[in-house]
Amino acid sequence: MFKDWFGSKSKYVTVKRQKEKSKEKKKKKGKGKGKGKITDELWTKCKNCGEIIFNKKLAQNLKVCLECEYHFRLNSQERLNLLIDEDSFTEFGEELETVNPLEFPKYESKLKKYQEKTGLDEAVVTGEGQIGGHRVAIAVIDANFLMGSMNSVVGEKVTRVIETALNEELPLIIISGGGGGARMYEGMLSLMQMAKTSAALAKLDDAGQLFISVLTDPTYGGISASFASLGDIIIAEKEAKIGFAGPRVIKQTINKDLPSGFQTSEFQLEHGMVDKVVGRKEMKDVLVRILDIHSLRGEVNA
């Protein structure tokens, strides 16, 4: 069954691997041949344990390493396939086109590059669908698009999905995975999306509606310091990197090495910042159970 969720084979794996491939190529030039072969279309080398995995097998295993359980990043489509009941997802139809409001150098070409690379218009996919039969409004931030950073369009689409949840009284789920935070190229317009989405969530909260925030690798900066941290329930996928400031910035500031396991899901759990750390294979089940419990709206007092 998992197989079906991950439709065509090697396509998904290449997103991550293209990067590795180009790195490998550079290496190859300098150090001679050999290593490049591993990143053949058919194989992926685990970033964690070095195990060489047949792509087909990796996809079947939800892109979790068969050897060490390392969770490879999923793109938004794979994430939706994993969580949403088959054929129940409808993407919201609005077409918002990103512009270059600050006329920031090279922004357009950057956008174009990522649009071609990911097949997405922007770093978020929003829509509604069912999870275990429960209708939900859902947004997935795609870390493959400009590091999943938030700009005007991403902020607007996230706000609209919150508003849809509010208007149609649907539970809201936002899957965060963005290391870019607020997108530099749109300056303060990006930063203010943090306030905009948080304000919209205040309304949802006032209405007594459920918001489940799911944090996946990586969740940082403007994403983590806004909607991602505001869930009634916050679930972190196993071994994701989650934090406010990036590790390099912290290291530079304090001039010390960072402790191992710093800013992982498990670190966040230990420090009381997330409700639960969940492996990819159990993620849907956990969400269904939470939705289930919240669907039972018994009278508390007559």
Point out which residues bind other proteins (CB under 8 A): 94-99, 101-102, 104-105, 152-153, 155-156, 159, 181-184, 186-196, 198-203, 205-206, 221-222, 224-230, 243-246, 249-250, 253-254, 256, 258-259, 262-263, 271-273
Contacts of 116 (CB under 8 A, 6+ apart): none
Nearer to other proteins, 152 or 265 (CB): 152
Nearer to other proteins, 49 or 199 (CB): 199
CB 227 within 8 A of CB 197: yes
Q: How far apart are CA 103 and CA 173, in angstroms?
A: 33
What is the closest distance, in whole angstroms, from the C-beta atom of residue 105 to other proteins in the complex?
6
User: DSSP string covering 59-93, please?
Assistant: HHTTTB-TTT--BPPP-HHHHHHHHSPTT--EE--
Contacts of 122 (CB under 8 A, 6+ apart): 96, 98, 145, 151, 153, 154, 157
What is the closest distance, in whole angstroms, from the C-beta atom of residue 297 to other proteins in the complex?
24
Nearer to other proteins, 51 or 205 (CB): 205
Nearer to other proteins, 254 or 296 (CB): 254
What is the closest distance, in whole angstroms, from the C-beta atom of residue 296 to other proteins in the complex?
27
**Using H for helix, E for strand and C for coil, what is the string for 126-141?**
EEEEEECCEEEEEEEE
What is the closest distance, in whole angstroms, from the C-beta atom of residue 240 to other proteins in the complex?
14
What is the closest distance, in whole angstroms, from the C-beta atom of residue 22 to other proteins in the complex?
17
